[in-house]
Amino acid sequence: MEKVGVYCRLSDEDRYKKNKNDDSESIVNQKSMLLKYALEKGWDVVDIYSDDDYSGAGVFRPDFDRLIKDCESGKINLVLCKTQSRFSRDMEVIERYLHNKFIEWGVRFVSIVDNADTENEANKKSRQINGLVNEWYLEDLSNNIKKSLKNKREDGMYMGSFAPYGYLKDPNDKHKLIIDENVSFVVKDIFDMYYKGMGYSTIAKNLNSRNILIPTLYKKTLGSNFRSLAYERYGTNKWNCDTIANILKNPVYIGNLVQGKRTSISYKNHKSKKVPETDWCICYNTHEPIIDKDIFDYVQTRLGKNEVPLKTGKVHMLSQKVYCKECGRVFMRNSFKSKTIGGEITKKSYLQCKGAKKYNICPNHASIRCEVLEEYILDKINKLITKCNKDFLKKGYEDELLKKDSSESKINNLNKELSDNEKKIAKGRLYFKSLYEDKINGLITDDDFRNLRSEYSKDIELLKKRNEEIKSEILNLEKSQDKNLEIDNIIKKYKHIKELNKYIIDEFITKINIGVLDKKTNTRDIEIIWNFEL
């Protein structure tokens, strides 16, 4: 007597269920068909295993696990399914169990519709072909879903499960973001405080002192199922530096969507992996911004520079800007107290090479007063503004337009090459499928298959490598386009600057190099590296 385990599976929830926990109509039909078949054969049905709403990719299914354990223990010796794909669409799983473990355990596999039967050695190839077709189905389905998501992202649709803090999903269009007026002011405050020189921790303290809910808790008040692993792990209800940093880095607040930064490893492995920046999906002006673009761009120039705030909570205007021309190390800021003629105590700040002061390995020992350096910088910036008159800017503008036309032509050519390569890769993939079918059907030998596959794989790898190079070239060209007119955009804001602040210094200057003090002339080289080419 055959001891049968009836296995049923459906991947999509049946819309006609009365209750979510009820078996779907399709599962009920599968059970009815399989039980009738077992009865006609005179087989003893030991148990029924049913996985409703589970995919056929992989083996992460509760009743499937139970079925396998019962096969291994000898409780059942025949697995009965409607089709082989109900058991699994994964070729690896088919090979592991139908053609390996089940033989070892003395378990027979039968599927009714496609006539799979492991007791019949003659239909092994047809089972393998079915397994391969099912595998391709999963792969194609996965690719189609990814393409569909990519198309929606490229159309400017928001595809996230939860709206970013400061926004809500439009009730009339779940793929569009609208400003959440209840908390958008918090986002504005965060950017404003950082713009004015405050550090992460100072901003966090400010928000906590005002009893403003962190994003996770705020979303819960809206009835959202949003989960934060950090919140669940540490249980903190306070704003922290990481949360502040994530908000400051997110271009969603200037009306842009950057999506597709992570993807699953494969249709079999759902763990996520990072996507190269060249493959991110970026759409501009998809929704109303909360933050002005100039403020956002300035904030991005400061992020990641390891700026240490002063005791006031603000970052000094020269932080991470001044370096030693001799050893390349940053200049440290210190202060000292001094008495005026009237006996008043004042505090003076100075900068000194870290290599000389902390490690004593640099000859650039002499310090420089902050106020002296600031006066020097202010004078240089104002001279630059005077020098860059209208004729200079006009000529520079015309030159940059020519560069822009050239860049756009290059980008168009690169995009065409990229598209052609993608078509070749897709065509090669279809070729490989037909090649595999020929091998299964015995039309070509294993050696021929391996040789042809090797040649095909080399060609595909070369095309993929070239595509990565193309994407990198396009990204660099697009970045250079953004910088081409930077000098015009910056200088036209100012006529004459009376007082420096961190924003002005960051706009004009990348780096300041300080040379060794000449004791005879009491002078030293000061080199300013501007943010643009003059």
Q: Among residues 257, 277, 302, which one ends one of the domains? A: 302
Report yes or no on 134 lying in a domain. Answer: no
Report yes or no on 504 lying in a domain. Answer: yes
What confidence tier does 345 reach under pLDDT thresholds 50, 70, 90?
confident
Shared domain check, 120 and 175: no
pLDDT tens digit sequence for 281-318: 888 899 999 999 888 988 888 786 655 556 555 677 88
Which range of residues forms the domain containing residue 229?
167-302
pLDDT tens digit sequence for 426-449: 777 777 777 777 777 777 787 777
The chain-wide mean pLDDT, for the chain, equals 81
* pLDDT greater at residue 200 or residue 495: 200
How many CB atoms neighbour CB 321 within 10 A?
23
pLDDT of residue 106 exceeding 90, the answer is yes
C-alpha triplet 193, 199, 203: angle, nearest 5°:
55
pLDDT of residue 16 exceeding 50, the answer is no
What confidence tier does 388 reach under pLDDT thresholds 50, 70, 90?
confident
CA of residue 499 relative to chain centroid, distance: 40
Q: Among residues 302, 323, 346, which one ends one of the domains? A: 302
Shared domain check, 176 and 287: yes
Sign of CA dihedral 49, 51, 57, 59: negative
* pLDDT greater at residue 162 or residue 1: 162
Report yes or no on 475 lying in a domain. Answer: yes
Q: What is the C-alpha separation between 277 and 418, in angstroms, rounded?
A: 16
Shared domain check, 410 and 279: no
Q: What is the C-alpha separation between 272 and 263, in angstroms, rounded?
A: 5
Nearest to 528 by CA among 323, 334, 336: 323
pLDDT of residue 141: 63
Q: Among residues 285, 302, 319, which one ends one of the domains? A: 302
Range of weakest confidence among 58-72, 370-384, 387-401, 454-468: 387-401
Give me the CATH number covering residue 96: 3.40.50.1390
Q: What is the C-alpha separation between 393 and 485, in angstroms, rounded?
A: 9
* pLDDT greater at residue 37 or residue 24: 37
Nearest to 86 by CA among 120, 112, 62, 105: 112
Q: How many CA atoms lie within 13 A of 519 on its CB side?
A: 4
What is the pTM for the complete model shown? Answer: 0.50
Instruction: Work out the average pLDDT over 236-262.
Output: 90
State the total domains in the chain. Answer: 3
DSSP state of 253: G
Report yes or no on 204 lying in a domain. Answer: yes
Q: Do residues 462 and 508 make contact, with C-beta atoms less than 8 angstroms apart? A: no
Range of weakest confidence among 152-156, 269-273, 413-417, 507-511: 269-273
Shared domain check, 514 and 406: yes
Shared domain check, 534 and 399: yes
Shared domain check, 511 and 390: yes
pLDDT of residue 397 exceeding 70, the answer is no
pLDDT of residue 267: 61
pLDDT of residue 483: 53
Give me the CATH number covering residue 236: 3.90.1750
Instruction: Work out the average pLDDT over 390-395.
Output: 50
pLDDT of residue 227 exceeding 80, the answer is no
Shared domain check, 274 and 390: no
Q: What is the C-alpha separation between 432 and 168, in angstroms, rounded?
A: 46
Shared domain check, 111 and 199: no
* pLDDT greater at residue 456 or residue 167: 167
As a residue count, the chain comes to 534
Shared domain check, 407 and 525: yes
Shared domain check, 507 and 454: yes
Q: How many CA atoms lie within 13 A of 254 on its CB side?
A: 18
Q: What is the C-alpha separation between 17 and 25, in angstroms, rounded?
A: 7
Percent of the chain with pLDDT over 90: 30
Instruction: Work out the average pLDDT over 500-519.
Output: 88
pLDDT tens digit sequence for 69-87: 999 999 999 999 998 888 9
pLDDT of residue 105: 95
* pLDDT greater at residue 102 or residue 458: 102
pLDDT of residue 195 exceeding 60, the answer is yes
Shared domain check, 176 and 293: yes
Shared domain check, 269 and 380: no
Range of weakest confidence among 13-27, 152-166, 176-190, 358-372: 13-27
pLDDT of residue 104: 94
Report yes or no on 198 lying in a domain. Answer: yes
Give me the DSSP letters along 379-399. Answer: HHHHHHHHHS-HHHHHHHHHH
pLDDT of residue 123 exceeding 90, the answer is no
* Coil vs helix vs strand at 217: helix
pLDDT of residue 183 exceeding 90, the answer is yes
Tracing tokens 């001044």 back to the chain, one arrives at 322
Report yes or no on 517 lying in a domain. Answer: yes
SS (H, E, C) 222-235: CCCCCCCHHHHHHC
pLDDT of residue 5 exceeding 50, the answer is yes
